[in-house]
Amino acid sequence: MNPAAEHPMRYALVNELHARPSPRLSAPATAVFLAFKEPGDAANRDRARDHAHLAEIVSRHGGPRPDPSDSHYQGRLGRHELKWESHTEFVTYMAMTPGLPIRPFDPSAAAIFPDAWQNEAPGLRIAAVMVQVDLLPEDPAEIPDRIADWFAADSLAAVWVLEESAVIASDFRIDPAGWMRISVFVRPGVSESRIGRLVHRLVELETYRAASMLGLTRARSLTARLNALESRLSALVASMADEARPAEEVLHDLLPIATELEAQAAQHSFRFGATRAYQAIVSDRIEVLRETRFMQMKMLTEFMRRRYLPAMRTTQSAEARLSEMQARASRSGELLRTRVEVERRAQNQKIMERMDRRADLQLRLQHTVEGLSVVAISYYAIGLLSYALAPLASALGLDKAVTIAVLTPLVLVVAWAGIRRVRQKLHRSEHGEI
């Protein structure tokens, strides 16, 4: 094959499919997971700071130094296998260690991530999960008694997953040490890669659940603002029926409302879009677990339906309400602009009618002036001609009164014709005629 025919991104795109391999775990094992997100504009954060923070923890334990250009890292740090990933809005760390702590979910299992190092992270912690992986007891009915002291009974969910190859249990609460606990019991013989994928999906489930819930806080603040804007918008729409109020004045009042709605949409569009995407990932992670009921205990889907989905519906409702109010403001603006245009056309029509009346009056005045001009010109012309023709009239034996009587109609006709001719020339010049 001719190398010139290769797309320049072909190898990079194929390698991306294999860029983040799932970890491998064998029971018993402990996995400690952290996710950090910057509070504002996390998608455009300085990713060099994330790499520097990763390099610090790696150098502390003498692990292989990460490549600053990579978006993932996996290496051994002493007894721990560290997996790091950089995502659009957050970075994740997962340290996996063989064996279980002496005390279940002992915070000392997270010693690889010291508090001082976490406090220096370029972001805030949005997820902290501790997963204990153990072998499934011969009698699975022992599990409820074993986990009774680990989780809160009112929110505990426990299910079979992956064709009953494992049982997972969690109450999705944060313990006094700040960790969310997840317990996994796997049947003997389940492969390391399958256990690793299961643990990875569980921590992803919690991470994307936490990230999607960020939209809920935005939705609540947005709802409070929309409540205030909606009353103003409703009052303004109602005032549109009042014909006594000028449409331009109403349109002027609508402008700040529409502007703020657009600003709110620009401010929240990314977060609401991310919430939808994260919710889809959460649903996908639950679906791929292929859960079935374990001893009449609460299932993940039931827990999410009661606790998680209402929050997502609140976010979707706020987003839909914002879009609906934007549409209302836009329609109101179009109606007001149409009303302003109609009013302006009516005003222009009245102006044109007044101009027509003025033109008619000017024409009448012009005709009157022309008539007076004919009389005035004729009067002076008859006087001059009567003096000029006086000797001739005496020779012919004509009286002065007779002479004036004869001259008057002739002079009037000539004066009228002359003024008419001048007016016609002016008319042709105004219309560009030669």
pLDDT tens digits for range 219-235: 998 888 888 888 888 87
Cα separation, 169 vs 185, whole angstroms: 9
Arithmetic mean of pLDDT, 295-321: 89
Q: Which residue has the higher pLDDT, 79 or 392?
A: 79
Cα separation, 431 vs 296, whole angstroms: 98
Mean of all residue pLDDT scores within the chain: 83
Residue 390's pLDDT is what? 65
Arithmetic mean of pLDDT, 258-280: 88
Arithmetic mean of pLDDT, 156-184: 93
The domain limits of the chain are 17-196, 212-349, 357-430
Residue 403's pLDDT is what? 64
Give the tens place of pLDDT for each residue, 107-143.
999 999 999 999 999 989 999 999 999 999 989 999 9
Are 160 and 294 in contact by the 8 Å Cβ rule? The answer is: yes
Q: Is the pLDDT of residue 362 over 60?
A: yes
User: Which tokens hold the place of 230?
Assistant: 């909606």
Q: Which residue has the higher pLDDT, 260 or 396?
A: 260
Q: Which of 76-80, 142-146, 335-339 has the lowest mean pLDDT?
A: 335-339
How many residues belong to the chain? 434
Residue 185's pLDDT is what? 96
How many secondary structure helices (H) and strands (E) does the chain include?
10, 9
Residue 18's pLDDT is what? 57
Alpha carbon distances (Å) from 69 to 27, 32, 94, 156, 163: 34, 25, 20, 41, 39
Q: How confident is the model at residue 412 (pLDDT cuts 50, 70, 90)?
A: low
Cα separation, 129 vs 414, whole angstroms: 114
User: Which tokens hold the place of 278?
Assistant: 């994260």
Q: Is the pLDDT of residue 306 over 80?
A: yes
Q: How confident is the model at residue 313 (pLDDT cuts 50, 70, 90)?
A: very high
First to last CA, the chain: 80
Arithmetic mean of pLDDT, 383-403: 66
User: Is residue 14 classed as helix, strand or coil in its secondary structure?
Assistant: helix
Residue 14's pLDDT is what? 64
> 31: burial class by Cβ within 10 Å (0-12, 13-18, 19+)?
buried
Mean pLDDT is highest, among 56-65, 153-162, 323-332, for 153-162
The 3-class secondary structure across 245-286, one letter per residue, is CCHHHHHHHHHHHHHHHHHHHHHHHHHHHHHHHHHHHHHHHH
Q: Calculate what percentage of the chain has a pLDDT beyond 90.
A: 35
In degrees rounded to 5, what are phi and psi of residue 17?
Answer: -65, -25
DSSP 30-65: EEEEEEEE-SS-GGG--HHHHHHHHHHHHHHTTPPP
User: Does the bond joining 28 to the residue before it have cis omega, within 30 degrees of 0?
Assistant: yes
Q: Is the pLDDT of residue 375 over 80?
A: no
Residue 334's pLDDT is what? 78
Q: Calculate what percentage of the chain has a pLDDT beyond 70.
A: 79
Q: Is the pLDDT of residue 150 over 50?
A: yes
Q: Find, among 174, 164, 173, the residue nearest to 140 by Cα.
A: 164
Give the tens place of pLDDT for each residue, 6-39.
766 666 666 655 556 678 888 899 999 999 999 8
Residue 32's pLDDT is what? 96
Residue 168's pLDDT is what? 94
Residue 341's pLDDT is what? 75
Residue 402's pLDDT is what? 66
Arithmetic mean of pLDDT, 341-363: 77
Residue 1's pLDDT is what? 44
